[in-house]
Amino acid sequence: MKRNLIFSGLIALIVSLSAMGIITHFRPEKKTITIEHVNTIPSQKAVFTVDDNGKAIPLDFNETASSVLDGVVHIKSTTLHHNTVPSSDFQSIPDPFRDFFGDQFKKEFFFPNGGKSKSHSSPARVGSGSGVIISKDGYIVTNNHVIDRADDIDITLHDNRTYKAIVVGADPSTDIALLKIKESNLPTVPLTNSDHVKIGQWVMAVGNPMGLNSTVTAGIISAKGRNINILKDKYAVENFIQTDAAINPGNSGGALVNLNGALIGINTAIASPTGSFAGYGFAVPSNIVQKVVEDLMEFGVVQRGALGIMIKTVNSTLAREKNINISKGIYIDSILQKSAAQNAGLKVGDIITKVDELSVNTSSELQAAIAQHRPGEKVDIYINRSGKEQMIPVTLYHREGNTEELSKESGKALKILGARIENTTPDQLADLDIESGVIVQKIFPGKIRKQTQMRDNFIITHIDNKKIENMNDLLEHLEDKEGGIMLEGVYTDIPGKYYYALGL
């Protein structure tokens, strides 16, 4: 019995010692942790992208941001709300002019409703957006909707200098506007060929979203040639670059640039159920921007060629319906009489595949390709007709069916009065039963807006009782004119005559 107890104790001792040895053997050794401070950006050594020449370059947004920020500005546009029905209100005439009119004239034209006012004012609306400096002497590109109807435009540079801006011109068809401030030696953002942009390419958006000045976001090109039906203009050209770089309210008019800091688009819109960033933003391609800017600077209005056709994008449904054996291109559904397309020999059923050397697969791509040309310019249209490829040269017409460029006189009138003014058409004169006149198509910040309650689509028939036949008459009367003038005319959609006095 005693021997058994001693034996059991020995066994227990051996097991315990063995267990302790095993635990000691497998116990991990104590490790020393070293904390290192990295003085360089890892991405410069680890992440690369490819430039236009196929060369691998470090993916570094810092240098690009530094080069672009100074060329992007903040825009504050102030609109004074005049909830106005156009009237010949005598009180709207500046004091120096009132003594020029007799009592009967005042009674007949300025108090047709017993002197009751037809207008009232409400608090001003202040909008915020962005812009891109494109020339050292102060030209700035932005969206038309940023400054549309604005009575006052303030520009703040990245270094906090502020300026008042004038509107050189605007193009609702592409939602692009051109502003000018009085300054020199400004930093600029260079434009590049947006046709060379590739899906998946890194880009940066620079602007002033939600009151946060000089904000930079990064992403890639998600798609090209997007038409999202956001522009309400009758002749809208939508061929947006789509990006997932964050764009929010206030980014409108800002820059979308590649990693070289070159402008590939003007940020314009977002696709969102909430009104804020939800993954996709859209920018007007720089090639369209450049064409619009060049025209606004030279003519004050955009010179845009047109084919004169109704089109559809080819898809499987259309291919089955029309019994065609091609899956890409633009189907010509109808052709306007006396149009550029009809004159060149294009036919209904032709499928357009290229414009010059640029392939076009959607209606928006075709519209954008044509929109980059002026009336009178020639383009090579490549088509598929009954299964055969051919090229047809086309001389583009203006929307009105000719090759004449819009007049530079319109640009001069814009600078003097703050409005885009054109000659009236014979149809307009016949519809309104008037002999002559010029039409105020669009009013911008300037003398007309500040001093009168005039609306768009006002036809000026007389100035200071002198009959106005055309734009030449208008400019001849305004040139070297001092003091004040009286504009007489009619609206295209409101009955009666209206009078507006201006101090030049």
Whole-number Å distance between alpha carbons of 25 and 379: 85
Interhelix angle for 471-478 vs 408-417, to 10°? 40
Q: Would the CA dihedral through 479, 485, 486, 487 be positive or negative?
A: positive
Phi-psi region at 381: left, alpha or beta (left = phi > 0; alpha = psi -120 to 50): beta
Q: In degrees to the nearest 10, what's the CA dihedral of 100, 103, 109, 115? A: 120
Q: In degrees to the nearest 10, what's the CA dihedral of 142, 147, 152, 157? A: -20
Whole-number Å distance between alpha carbons of 395 and 374: 10
Residue 460 near residue 467 (C-beta atoms within 8 A): no
Q: What one-letter code names the amino acid at 278? A: A
Q: Catalytic residue positions?
A: 145, 175, 252
Per DSSP, the chain holds a count of helices (H) and strands (E) of 14, 27
Q: Would the CA dihedral through 483, 488, 492, 495 be positive or negative?
A: positive
SS3 24: helix
Tokens of 351: 């499928």
Residue 374 near residue 400 (C-beta atoms within 8 A): no
Residue 319 near residue 306 (C-beta atoms within 8 A): no
Whole-number Å distance between alpha carbons of 356 and 477: 44
SS3 276: coil
Interhelix angle for 363-371 vs 286-299, to 10°? 30
